Structure 1
Amino acid sequence: MKNSQSHKSQQKLFFFFKLLSWYYDRLFISRIMALVSVLNFGLVLFDLSYIPLRDIWLNGVITVGQFKLGPYEFNGIQLEIVPKRLREKIIQYDVIKGIEPYRDTQLYLEEADLLENTINQYGLDNEKTKEILKRLREMSVDMIREDPFRLANKSGTLEIIKNRMREHMNNYIDNPDSSSTFAFTSFWTVDNLENNLYGQLGFFNREIRPLINTNYWRPIGENGQFVDYFGLLDFPFIVIIFTDFIIRCLVISLRYHGVKFQDAIFWRWYDLIFFLPYFRWLRIIPISVRLNDSKLLTYKRIQKQISQGFVAGIAGDITQIVVLRIVNQIQKTIEKGSIEQILFKEETKEYINLSGKNESAEIVKLLINLVVYEMLPEIRPEVEILLSYIMIKTISESPMYENMKNLPGFNNFPDKISNKLATQSYQIFLNSINGILQEDPIFEKHLEKIIEKATKTLNLRPNARYDINKIEELLVILLEEVKVNYIQQLSDEDIEALMDETRAINN
């Protein structure tokens, strides 16, 4: 009975694992989750940009080309980019950001509406109209003094309102102090409105009202931050992405030996960015990975360009460092007197011969073998031509030949004799060298004596050590000049040329 229950449990676990593996391996599921992530990121971007762009969503208008330079000013061109029906829907997002109409500025606009209605019903000289105008003057003074735009970080908008009203009223009143308060209180008077009622009210509705309407109130929560309900919109996406994250981590831990669940979490570390309460714009990182994994977008070319750009950026420095280290090491070796130690072995500690051979003699012998058997036979035609030319030139320029060249049979004498002499001379030289290079212990003994005698000569010569030291000093200076003139001036063009060759090979 227990075995039967255990078997059923194993079957259920096996089926569960197969289901999770099927979910993990399905490309269309990866694509769905990638699209969900993109949709969530789009919502994040809209939320982050909503406050900065709220004026556009509210009025649907942007001003292009506005500038002020000293006495020159251009108000720009206003373009309506968002239809009214659409912006009425978008502006409902105020609820999510906790935005409410600011009471004082809202009352100001309502008072202006009441003024228009009262004028239409009772006229401009009515007592009710004059009472409303008085309240508008008082509210204008309070608005300028108290700055109700400060909480929304829109004090700049109030400055624009004051400037526009001041510039407008300069055409109707004498305002030597350029007082915006005097401009507003003069605007809301019967004397100002009766001259051009609809023009003045049209200016207010067109230039002032939209700016006042952008002000808002935003309450502060118990955490000291502005009230924001974006988390309610974000939460369903986070639940879906978190579920997908847990499933994928679980499959990774079950599929790969030695990988625990916590290891799998770090395996997909980039998904953890989704669950950060702040810096939501960083979600672009896991979204990019998911889009690449789902093959909706591939970043191979981008990755290639980034990596090549990175390599190009550091290749010069790396090359410089490596070459400089080599040159520096050579300099240090020379400064320690290594050349002197090699040439003056007898004055240093006893030389240890590890191989039992004279390496110097062996090296000379190998070099001679390389030259005689590999190089000299290959360059023989060219050498013979050169020898022939030298002999022809020597014979032709000799005084003896100048006297003999007019004799019969001596006209082509230099060509004939030089060709034969060149061929025979080169062959004699090769035969001599080949004979010397045959296994000849006596030759090797003489060669060792020559090398040993050369070394002793250097030791016995009075100025030899001074000359060697001078050579070492000159070599150190020469290497320093090489560093300054060549190594440290590796140009970007050189590195870019190398990178271009690399790209050509890879393609």
Structure 2
Amino acid sequence: MVRPRWQSAKPTASRQFWLRWDRAIATIAAVNLAWVVFDVTYVPLRNFWLQRTLYPLPTLGLAVPLPWLPDVTKVYDRVKGIEPHQDTASYIRHFQRLEATAASSGINSPAARQLRLEMVVKNSQLIDENPFVASNKTGSLEKLKSRLRARADMDSAKQAAAHLLGESYLTPDNWQDEKRFWQESILPLAATNYWRGTDETGQPIDLSWRIDFPFQILFLLDIGLRAVRLKRRFPAIAWRDALLRRWIDLPLLIPFWRLLRVVPVTERLSSTRMIQLEPLRAAVSRGVVAVLALELFEVITLRTLDAAQDAVRSPRWPEQIRRLCSHQSVDDDGERELAELLRLWLPLVLTQVGPAMRPQLVALVSHALRRNLEETAIPSSLRALPGMEHAEDRLSLQLSNGLVDSLLNLSRRAGDRLGQKDQVLQELGIQTVDRFWEELARTLERGPVLERSQELVAAFLEELKRNSMTQLRSQKDVDALIKELDGLNFNPAVQPPRPQA
């Protein structure tokens, strides 16, 4: 016995195990997808992970520090083959030496003065050589130069650095503020520059496949297990077809276009009921399906009308009409469908449908007879006599009863006769229909009506095509269709009754 859809199957131990397995794989796939998004966006967003600062409005200079985020660059730079650039790393280390020397012997000590001069030279070399080009971070150098010019209120970044590190400006009193400026505004920009190695093929080094490979092995194992489960459920299915059923999992196995994994991950999370996507799918598909359905119906309608126009305009139109003869449409078994359909339907109409309509037929005929008696049969002088109107009603009712009963009896007898196999009657009916199509085709061939009929029918189809296409392309029809679907889906009055358990 088939289980009703509203009764869920009792979970078995095997089913519960596979459900837990599918949910575990779906969770791992979601984690893998999150890592893929991080890996794909790591290089473009490396400045964010390095500085851990969010700039929601860069034009206003608004910065939101996120110190609670871990510094993943120290670990993940090795995965991407990223190393600190020698020039910018030397630039940062030199300033750190200046800080250490100033802390031990003072900012105006001979050793600190020498380091300040060397820092000015390194700053000029950094601006001239622009090592940010290799990492496509030229914008960081421009920010560094603009901050130096703004700090010193000068037009040249080189002169601004020489002024900020010069003896006339830098003193023990303002050294802490200047050191904070260099640590927070200049050195972080220099730290964003990096050097990235290349492999044997000339591509940038990327070792993320080592992280992804165990996931791919696990996904491949799960796809094989799903194929085995499907084979057990449907033994007749081929192994190839069982594996192809999981074509949606292909992005989980390929090392490129990895962001497409959002499709199989979403499917797995939805199939294991870890997330509910049906309301979202229904909301999106309503509009899409409505538009696609109208587009498809438009194409089918246009193709049908074009085919009808081609058939009408064809000089072989009479020949096509002649092909409607029954002897041109006999199937392999020799049965004529039209004749058999009439043999089944005519007795049904004459013996059952007609007698069931007797009260309506009597009322209709009685009314018609009464109107006829009022207008023609009885003079107006006699109609004024008492009881004459009642007599007209009784007379028309009796006549209609007799007439309808006679017709129904005749139809019953004719229906019973037609319901029997009568080869002669069948042949006569077929010959009559064939003769009609034959005479119509012959008349069109001989007379001058063919060309004019073709023009009129083709013009009618063209007008029908234009009107239908204009209506189908209206956005109001799409909106009305979506509202109608909403009414059918969400109106309690039209919901089918729930079956009782």
TM-score, normalised on structure 1? Answer: 0.66
1:249-398 alignment, distance < 5 Å: 276-282=254-260, 295=272, 297=274, 301=278, 314-336=292-314, 340=318, 372-393=350-371
Shift of 1:215: 1.8
The residue matched to 2:87 in structure 1 has which SS?
Answer: helix
Partner in structure 2 of residue 475 of structure 1: 457
**Partners of 1:232 and 1:280 in 2: CA distance:** 14
- The residue that corresponds to 1:209 in the other structure is 187
Q: Which residue of 1 aligns with 2:84?
A: 101
Who is 1:63 aligned against? 55
Distance 1:448-1:266 versus aligned 2 partners, 3 A rule: closer
**Which whole-Å CA distance do the structure 2 matches of 1:427 and 1:248 have between them?**
71
Contact (CA 8 Å) 2:91, 2:119: kept in 1 or not? yes
Moved more, 325-334 or 259-268: 259-268
Q: Is the 8 A contact 2:196 2:205 kept in 1?
A: yes
Is the counterpart of residue 48 in structure 1 residue 25 in structure 2?
no
Residue of structure 2 equivalent to 1:134: 117
Partner residue in 2 for 1:160: 143
Runs of 5+ consecutive residues of structure 1 not aligned to the other structure: 1-21, 68-73
Give the whole-Å Cα distance in 1 for the aligned partners of 2:448 and 2:373. Answer: 46
Is the contact between residue 318 and residue 441 of structure 2 (CA under 8 Å) also seen in structure 1?
no
Q: For residues 444 and 32 of structure 1, what CA distance do their matches in structure 2 show? A: 70
Deviation at 1:157, TM superposition (A): 1.6
Alignment of 1:81 with 2:59, yes or no, is: no
Aligned partners of 2:337 and 2:240: how far apart in 1?
62
Return the match for 1:218 from 196, 200, 216.
196
Find the counterpart in structure 2 of residue 13 from structure 1.
Answer: none
The alignment of Structure 1 onto Structure 2 pairs a total of residues equal to: 465
Is 1:57–1:82's contact at 8 Å kept on the other side of the alignment? no
Over residues 389-409 of structure 1, what are the superposed CA-to-partner deviations in whole Å (9 max), with x where a residue is unaligned?
A: 344455556797544444444
Work out which of the two has the higher radius of gyration on C-alpha atoms and give 1 or 2.
1
1:167 deviates by: 3.4
Matched residues in 1 for 2:79 and 2:232: separation?
A: 42
Work out whether residues 60 and 81 of structure 1, in 8 Å CA contact, stay in contact via their aligned partners in 2.
Answer: yes
Matched, 1:112 2:95: yes
What's 1:227 paired with?
205
1:242-287 Cα deviation digits (max 9, x unpaired): 6777899999999999999999887877777666454444555666
Distance 1:53 1:413, change over 3 A: same
**Counterpart of 2:401?**
423
> 1:359 Cα deviation (Å)?
12
> What code does the residue aligned with 2:179 have?
L
The CA deviation at 1:471 is 3.6
How far residue 62 of structure 1 moved from its aligned partner, in angstroms, is: 0.8
1:41, 1:283 within 8 Å by CA — same for their partners in 2?
yes
1:197-247 CA-to-partner distances (Å, cap 9, x unmatched) read 444433332222222222222233333233344344445555666677789
CA contact (8 A) 2:350 2:414 kept: no
**Deviation, structure 1 residue 59:** 1.9
Q: Deviation of residue 149 (structure 1)? A: 1.4
Evaluate the alpha carbon distance shift between residue 468 and residue 118 of structure 1 in structure 2; reply closer, same or farther with a 3 A threshold: same
What SS class does the counterpart of residue 168 from structure 2 fall into? Answer: helix
Query: What SS does the aligned partner of 1:190 have?
Result: coil
Q: 1: distance between equivalents of 2:239 and 2:410? A: 80
Closer, same or farther: CA 277–385 of 1 in aligned 2, 3 Å: closer
- Give the distance between the partners of 2:413 and 2:228, measured in 1 at CA: 80
Deviation at 1:137, TM superposition (A): 2.4
Aligned match for 1:144, one of 115, 122, 127: 127
RMSD: 5.7
Structure 2: distance between partners of 1:452 and 1:274: 65
Query: Aligned partners of 1:270 and 1:450: how far apart in 2?
Result: 60
Q: Is the 8 A contact 1:219 1:227 kept in 2?
A: yes
Look up the match of 2:165: 188
Judging changes above 3 Å, is the alpha-carbon distance between structure 1 residues 425 and 280 closer, same or farther for their aligned structure 2 residues? closer
- Contact 2:80-2:206 within 8 A present in 1 as well: yes
Deviates more, 1:268-277 or 1:221-230: 268-277
Change (3 A) 1:302 1:223: farther
Conserved 8 A contact 2:23-2:274: no
TM-score by length of 2: 0.67
> Partner amino acid for 1:91?
K
CA 1:372 to 1:214, structure 2 compared with 1: closer, same or farther past 3 Å?
same
Whether the 8 Å contact between 1:436 and 1:443 is mirrored in structure 2 is no
Q: Distance in 2 between matches of 1:92 and 1:342?
A: 79
Task: Name the CA shift for 1:266/1:444 in 2 (closer, same or farther; >3 Å).
Answer: closer
Closer, same or farther: CA 261–198 of 1 in aligned 2, 3 Å: same
Structure 2 residues without counterparts, runs of 5 or longer: 1-13
Aligned 8 A contact 1:124 1:190 in 2: no
Counterpart-to-counterpart distance in 2, 1:384 and 1:404: 26
d(CA) in 2 for partners of 1:254 and 1:367?
49
How far has the Cα of 1:152 moved from its partner?
1.8
3-state SS in 2 of match to 1:47: helix
2:157, 2:64 → 1: CA distance?
A: 28
- Deviation string 1:135-182 (CA, Å, 9 cap, x unpaired) is 222222222222111222211222222233333433xx4x4xxx4444
Q: Which amino acid aligns with 2:200?
A: E
1:19-68 alpha-carbon deviations (Å, 9 max, x no partner): xxx9xx9776666666555555544443333323322222221122232x
Distance in 2 between the 1:259 and 1:438 partners?
52
